[in-house]
Amino acid sequence: MTAKNDFQSSDPIAWCPGCGNFGILNAVKKALAELKIKPENVLMVSGIGQSSKLPHYIKCNTFNGLHGRLLPVATGAKIANHDLVVIGEGGDGDGYSEGGNHFIHAMRRNIDITYIVHNNQIYGLTKGQASPTTDKDMVTGTTPEGAYVSPERPLAIAVASNCSFIARGFSLELDHLADLIKKAVSHHGFSLLEVLQPCVSFNKINTFQWYQERVYKLEEKDHDVSDRTQAFHKALEWGDQIPLGIIYQRESKTYEDRKELTDSVPLVSRKGKKDKIKSTLKEFY
């Protein structure tokens, strides 16, 4: 049996009191415990930002890499060992700005990784600059006259990229979020789970209350998760109404289905075929 406690890390938490990240941390622990995954079988890869500190606060394998680069690290790690449950943890700046190219191509690869993006619409770690998801006209440290660039709609990019699992959670809805994490981890292929997460220090507009007044659950509405056109509409919905839940899901071949990886033994545990080199070298005579 695995319990939430089994994921208790010894590292003291460095987030601001009341940070939206706490809800995500609790939901991740709850989901992993309920999925009965052992800490040593989880690999969390993160980038840079307050969100990317999360793996330190969970007892599990962790690679806390560079800003925007968590997806390629996670991809390499998963290719080497497909037995690992690989979860990426990053923020809106990390994943949608610096890591934008990797985001698009990870969805194309459809490798079995769960990518949790903590979206607080602001840069927290660097103390309050505009992010790719900052709403228009919002005043931040780098946009004193208000943000003049339109915000990115990452979930719509994901639908366009035919990402095989797209969902959104809210850090205050712990049970709902934990359930989405379980579904994302269980999904066969690349899962994008964006989590709305208020920054209590640097985003005074998109507060807990702001989100609470707007979010609604797709599962309570008539939403067909297999309908890509519907999904596109829902992915673009923002403002007065913000949908939570699974936006799109499809079953398809994953990166791990390529024939070199279908062996149940992960690459890292295979004995290797270097002895074949003798016969390969014959081709060069």
Partner 1 sequence: MTQKRDISIKIGGEAGQGMKVISTLLGKTFSRRGFWVFTYQDVMSRIRGGHNFSQIRICSQQVSNISSQLDMVVCLDKKTLDLHKDETQGPVLYDKDFIKKNPPPGDKYIPIPFQKIAKDTGGDERMANSVASGAVLTLLGMSMDPLYELLEEIFKQKGKKVIQGNKKSARAGAEEVKKVGQKRHFFKLKPENKKKRMLLTGSEAMALGALASNVRFYSAYPMSPATAIMEYLASQQESYDLIVEQAEDEIAAVNMAIGTFFSGARAMVGTSGGGMALMVEGISLAGMTETPLVIVDAQRPGPATGFPTRTEQADLFFAAFSGHGEFPRCILAPSTAEEAFYLTSKALYLAEKYQSPVFILGDQYLNDSSWTVEEFDLDKIYPDEQGFLSKKKLKELKPYQYLRYETNSSGITPRIRPGTPRQVLYADSDEHTEEGHITESAEIRNQMVNKRLSKARGMNNELAKPVIYPQQMADIYIISWGSTLGIVDEAVKSLKNEKAKIGYIHFSEIYPLRHDVIPQDIAQNAKLIGVENNASGQFLRLLQLETGIQVKNKVLKYDGRPFKPQELADQIKQESGGSS
Binding site for partner 1 (CB under 8 A): 10-11, 14, 39-41, 43, 45, 48, 53, 55-56, 59-66, 69, 71-81, 83-84, 101-102, 104-105, 258-261, 267-268, 270, 272-274, 276-278, 280-281, 284-285
Nearer of residues 56 and 233 to partner 1, judged by Cβ: 56
CB 65 within 8 A of CB 14: no
Least distance (Å) between residue 68 CB and partner 1: 8
Give the list of residues 6+ apart from residue 265 with CB closer than 8 angstroms, or none. Answer: none
Least distance (Å) between residue 281 CB and partner 1: 6
Least distance (Å) between residue 249 CB and partner 1: 24
What DSSP letter does each residue of 201-238 carry, written as one string? TT-SSS-HHHHHTTEEEGGGS---TT-HHHHHHHHH--
Nearer of residues 222 and 271 to partner 1, judged by Cβ: 271
Please, is 208 exposed, middle or buried when counting C-beta atoms within 10 Å of its C-beta (0-12, 13-18, 19+)?
A: middle
CB 122 within 8 A of CB 199: yes
Beta pairing partners, 229: none
Nearer of residues 31 and 177 to partner 1, judged by Cβ: 31
The angle formed by the CA atoms of residues 94, 96 and 97, to the nearest 5 degrees, is 70
Least distance (Å) between residue 100 CB and partner 1: 10
* CA–CA distance, 96 with 90 (Å, rounded to integer): 9
* CA–CA distance, 123 with 132 (Å, rounded to integer): 10
Nearer of residues 59 and 214 to partner 1, judged by Cβ: 59
Least distance (Å) between residue 97 CB and partner 1: 14
Nearer of residues 77 and 180 to partner 1, judged by Cβ: 77
